Structure 1
Amino acid sequence: MKRWIIRIALLLAASIALATVTGSAYERIQRYQTKHDFPPLGTLVDIGGRRIQLDCRGTGSPTVVFESGLDINGSLSWSAVQGAVAKTTRACSYSRAGIMWSDPSRGVQNGKAVVDDLHKTLQAAGEHGPFVLVGHSLGGPYIMTYTKYYGQDVAGLVFVDASHPDQVERLKAVTPQQSAFFGKLLVSLAWTGALRQFVGGVVQQQPHQDMQDVAMIRAYAPTSLGPMLAENAALDQTLAEAGTFRQLGNRPLYVLTAMAPLSKAELQSMHMNAAQGVHMREVWKQMQDDEASWSSRSQHQLVGDSSHNIQFHRPDVVIHAVLSVVDLVRADEQH
């Protein structure tokens, strides 16, 4: 009996080892294939031993710079918006360190690190201000931090349902705490090919999003997820830094706020009931109202038929907001 137990244990161990080796080889092949099938959009800019993907299109001033939220989409977060803006002025999107085509960073990925990377990227690529910065979700605190340190180049801003520096504390009583354990576990197993099996369910097509973009995001997801979680781990530092700068003077500011009721799927993913969802929207709007007070020339638009990703649900609204700020900056330059 004991011999049979030992044999079964050895067979099980051998099976696990074989599956691990096979999965690892599969993952290496898939990463090679991904680089071959989906080369970077735009260019890879060397910022001193690391490369950041930057996609700039169009001509004109000011240059619009898009900053994505806490996701793995990189520059593709703006695929439904950038082309239209580029018909009027220079428009640049990029992927942060480790996301999509950009090389990872070994340091802490807090707001200061992110904006320093962006500043180096724009400088190395020869992109000059004045800039209109557009930030979605966590991209809001990122562009505020950029303005804090490199404000001489920033002429206007657009917040697309942007995060607020005080949101963790303000939403604590409304939204249950989410554990990052499962995400970290998947990242730790990415080399085995296990993570690649989950990305189809994680990365869903958005409205006004091309399936080719979805395919690219899914292909790079196993390498993008870890850097995204690193940004999430530094969230408290990022929000604290952004919270030290809340005055934009008379720079044009356009605030877009998603106000569509949370869907059943969204409520379930956040472990909330309908009443908590309504309360969360109320608190979120209060914070968005506060953001709109950070400039003496601000406009605040509530987007009642859009969820958090306004750039996909209502790209026309985002395009209008961006071009409105571009027009105001151009008018300022003429005086």
Structure 2
Amino acid sequence: MRIGLGAAVIVGLAVFAGLVGVAYEQVGRFRAARDFPPPGRMVDIGGRRIQLDCRGSGSPTVVFEAGQSVAGALDWSAVQPKVAAHTRACAYSRAGLMWSDPSSEPSSAKQVAQDLHAALTAAGERGPFVMVGQSIGGPYVVSFTRYYGAQVAGLVLVDPSHPDQAARVAHYMVEKRSPLSRLFLRLGWTGLLRVAAPRLLPRMPHQSEQEVAAIRAFAPLSFRTELAESDATERTLAEAGAFRELGDRPLVVLTAMAPYTEGELHGMKITPAQGKQVQALWKQMHDDIATWSTRGTHRLLPNAGHDIQFDEPDAVVDAVLSVVRQVRALSPGPASP
């Protein structure tokens, strides 16, 4: 009898804690929508809305594609305003990130390209575009060029993923999310992620407190999409790798060359010596990407980590504006495929 009563008390407390967590999460979502309205506008792309923030004026229009993160358009907060002082500049949040509605379609490079193209078209934004992608955003903008190349006049790839990276560095790295961490990320509805967000998402250099607070407020929903994109990485890279011909479009590839931190080495389960070998391979892969265009250039940043747009935002701005100038100097027509 006592055991049964004790078990009932434990179950009751667990149910009560769960209900409190659910209520906490729902209140958090309400406050997120109330306190952090989307920058720019919400664009309807056929029953779903995509958050799109376009600023400035001039041609070509620069379009920013974030890497694999939960920050969406805010990943470019240290770069976009400076570019917008010289030309039209658009940042957006992919489906399911920050303010954007989720998609029922599986995550893929083609789906990302279609969503972005639909949002730009619905918002009245027209090419020529200079596409800027960081990390997995690199393959995303290359895929956009594959499907909508007539509108793409130039590209900037910020420490981009390479289609062959898994095969090239697989024997060095075994970084994978554990089943426990996956379960944790799927429990956003319980309020656990909202409580953990400040620890999981530290403030980056050049980020305002308001931006950090917004990212953390939407994180429980955004984490779900980030996990789906992570699971689709192999498919995304394979799809993007089928297109490596950027013609004569101006292209700048930026590579982060700062030594890996202890935390990064621990996460990748490699030694400092192996870290140097991985970086050497990373540079070689970026050398390769730069050859995808006859106007490709490759710049190394010895003091920047993977998130170059936060570590050295001015280097990204300089690269983007250099491509903008090249596009303006070329004929007004689209670059040849």
Q: Is the 8 A contact 2:175 2:269 kept in 1?
A: no
2:243 is the alignment partner of 1:245: yes
% of aligned pairs identical? 53
Q: Is the 8 A contact 1:161 1:310 kept in 2?
A: yes
Partner of 2:92: 94
1:100-249 correspondence to structure 2 within 5 Å: 100-179=98-177, 181-249=179-247
Q: Alignment partner of 2:114: what SS? A: helix
2:287 to 281, 286, 289: 289
Q: Is the 8 A contact 1:184 1:226 kept in 2?
A: no
Residue identity opposite 2:128 in structure 1: P
Q: Deviations over 1:7-36 (max 9, x none)?
A: 110000000000001111111111001100
Q: Is the 8 A contact 1:136 1:160 kept in 2?
A: yes
Tell me how far 1:267 sits from its aligned partner.
Answer: 1.1
* Structure-2 separation of matches of 1:153 and 1:129: 5
TM-score (norm 1): 0.97
Tell me how far 1:49 sits from its aligned partner.
Answer: 0.4
1:18 to 16, 19, 29: 16
Partner of 1:48: 46
Q: Alignment partner of 1:141: what SS? A: helix
Q: Alignment partner of 1:48: what SS? A: coil
Partner of 1:264: 262
Tell me how far 1:181 sits from its aligned partner.
Answer: 2.5
* Structure-2 separation of matches of 1:180 and 1:238: 21
Which 4+ residue blocks in structure 1 deviate beyond 2 angstroms?
Answer: 179-184
Tell me how far 1:152 sits from its aligned partner.
Answer: 0.2
* Structure-2 separation of matches of 1:206 and 1:258: 16
* Structure-2 separation of matches of 1:136 and 1:71: 10
Q: Alignment partner of 2:330: what SS? A: helix
* Structure-2 separation of matches of 1:225 and 1:179: 13
* Structure-1 separation of matches of 2:130 and 2:328: 11
Q: Alignment partner of 1:311: what SS? A: helix
Q: Alignment partner of 1:333: what SS? A: coil
Partner of 1:31: 29
Tell me how far 1:177 sits from its aligned partner.
Answer: 3.5
Q: Deviations over 1:168-207 (max 9, x none)?
A: 1111011113125334312332111111121111101111
Q: Deviations over 1:270-306 (max 9, x none)?
A: 2221111111101101101000111111111000000
Gaps of 5+ in 2: none
Q: Is the 8 A contact 1:72 1:221 kept in 2?
A: yes
Partner of 1:76: 74
Q: Is the 8 A contact 1:111 1:141 kept in 2?
A: yes
Q: Is the 8 A contact 2:253 2:298 kept in 1?
A: yes
Tell me how far 1:58 sits from its aligned partner.
Answer: 0.1
Q: Is the 8 A contact 2:155 2:249 kept in 1?
A: yes
